[in-house]
Amino acid sequence: MDPKKTFDIPSLGPARFPSPLQLSNNSGDDLFNFVRESDRVLVDVSLSGFQQARESGSRPECLEKSGPRETIFFDPGKTTAAIVTCGGLCPGINNVIRSLVMALHYFYGVKRIIGVRYGYEGLSRDCPHEFMELTPDKVKDIHEFGGTILGSSRGAHPVSEMVDTLVENRIDILFTVGGDGTLKGAHAIGDEIAKRGLNIAVAGIPKTIDNDINLIDKSFGFETAFDVASPIVRDAHNEAIGAFNGISIVKLMGRDSGYIAASTALAMPVVNFVLVPEMPLKLEGEGGFLQALEDRLQRKHHAVIVVAEGAGQHLFDDDRRVTDASGNVKHKDIGILLKDRIQEHFGQSGTPVTIKYIDPSYIIRSAPANANDSLFSNRLAYQAVHGAMAGKTQFVAGRVHNRFVYLPISKVTDRRKKIDMEGEFWFAVLQSTGQPFKMG
């Protein structure tokens, strides 16, 4: 494949209908301009990347800028759109649903919008759930609540059946709101649609509370997660200092990436240790975590530990690999293991400790979006609608280098984004906590 085209977005065909949006193509008239197909955002914005492209004489890799096009592929009055939400709950899903409906209805005049119930299960042939009709009145207040009014589920369903359902219900655009597994499913649906030669667009809005979607700056719900977690950590600190040698352990989300745990520690700088999946971790012996914790208690007589759910999985004796319906590895409870091992360690040395273990994960997942995530969710939804109405397919709307762009689904699902252990962000965490640079 031509490396210059690896970020190109597939299109259903030429755009033939004038956009109903009354925008501009001229600067200086105080109107937002239509986005041209030639508008691009650089993937690599470093000076070295620019110099390398200039020396090789090649065009640098670019992403399509998102936004409304002057001509669109679908005739709005004859278009049917569907929305499906999949995977675990995440703050902001209802915001996305609301904004998709409002943009389709008011921006483009799409009158038939349906909600698919309980994830991809709602598109399977034997699904017992009826579609939900989505109108502006139906969704006008849903942003005030967490969760998703459409329901969600995990697990794969036959792709051919799901495409059959789209065809039978005359659905022209499918908006998929979900994480890695959901987007891979959307890509498979898009491939089946292309194989059949159908004019159905598939657009993704990346949803993962863990912020582990590749390439994009952040995913919606992530900021709310560490916003809600911060006062919990504050209260955990109060518990820790309320006892001599008090230890509070707070387990937060982060299956493969520790962004929530690390960001919470930076936002609430009473945390003394952050343990994330990306870091090597040793408990016992010289330079291990327990020695560092012992040193901390000798100095301050209290400690707050924030641990991501995927950290330290190698510490368990049982190495059997169990997955959920979406194929994600079901991690063992690192919080309980830490509590038990800490209790055992200090019991052997005769040092009295008081340990409190807190797991607020599901409370955080079901919280409504905060103001910043609400704003971000709305803008993501708008960009997805503009792209889908223009006939773009198998893409996600995301923000890269603080610019909204369209990315191929295949590029954001080929790997998980992880904390760079040599990057400034992790260094800031180490400076905030004061923990040893290495404990493994």
Those residues with Cβ within 8 angstroms of residue 237's Cβ, 6 or more apart along the chain or in another chain: 248, 268, 270, 271, 304
First to last CA, the chain: 41
Q: For residues 240 and 217, is the Cβ–Cβ distance under 8 A?
A: no
**210 is known as an active-site residue:** yes
Is 142 marked as a binding-site residue?
no
Is there a binding annotation on residue 180? yes
255 labeled binding residue: yes
Structure tokens at 97: 């649903």
Check whether 319 is labelled as a binding-site residue: no
d(CA 53, CA 59): 6
Residue 242 marked in a binding site: no
Dihedral sign of CA atoms 96, 178, 400, 385 in order: negative
DSSP 266-281: HHSTT--EEE-TTS-B
The answer to whether 155 is a known ligand-binding residue is yes
Query: Residue 178 burial (CB < 10 Å; 0-12/13-18/19+)?
Result: buried
Annotated binding residue 389: no
Residue 299's nearest CA partner among 229, 355, 245 is 245
CB 150 within 8 A of CB 97: yes
* C-alpha dihedral sign at 249, 90, 223, 313: positive
Catalytic residue among 210, 212, 256, 373: 210
Which residues are within 8 A (CB) of 223 and not within 5 positions of it... i.e. 6 or more apart?
370, 372, 373, 376
268 is in an annotated binding site: no
Q: What is the C-alpha separation between 305 and 271, in angstroms, rounded?
A: 6
Q: How far is CA 98 from CA 93, 102, 347, 380, 397, in A?
A: 9, 6, 54, 12, 16
Rg (CA), the chain: 24
208 annotated as ligand-binding: yes
Residue 197 in marked binding region:
no
Element (H, E) at 64: strand 62-65
Look up residue 74 and give its two tokens.
């679908």
What burial letters (b/e) apply to 71-80, b meaning 16+ CB within 10 Å? ebbbebeebb
C-alpha separations of 53 from 44, 403, 411 in Å: 10, 21, 21
Q: Is there a binding annotation on residue 363? A: yes
Q: How many Å apart are CA 63 and CA 216, to the nearest integer? A: 11
Distance of CA 159 to the CA centre of its chain: 23
User: Is residue 205 marked as binding?
Assistant: no
| 146 labeled part of a ligand binding site | no
Q: Are 74 and 13 in contact (CB under 8 A)?
A: no
Residue 254 in marked binding region: yes
For the annotated catalytic residues, the residue numbers are: 210
Q: Which residues are annotated as a binding site?
A: 88, 154-155, 179-182, 208-210, 253-255, 309, 362-365
Q: Which residues are annotated as a binding site for substrate?
A: 208-210, 253-255, 309, 362-365
Q: Which residues are annotated as a binding site for ATP?
A: 88, 154-155, 179-182
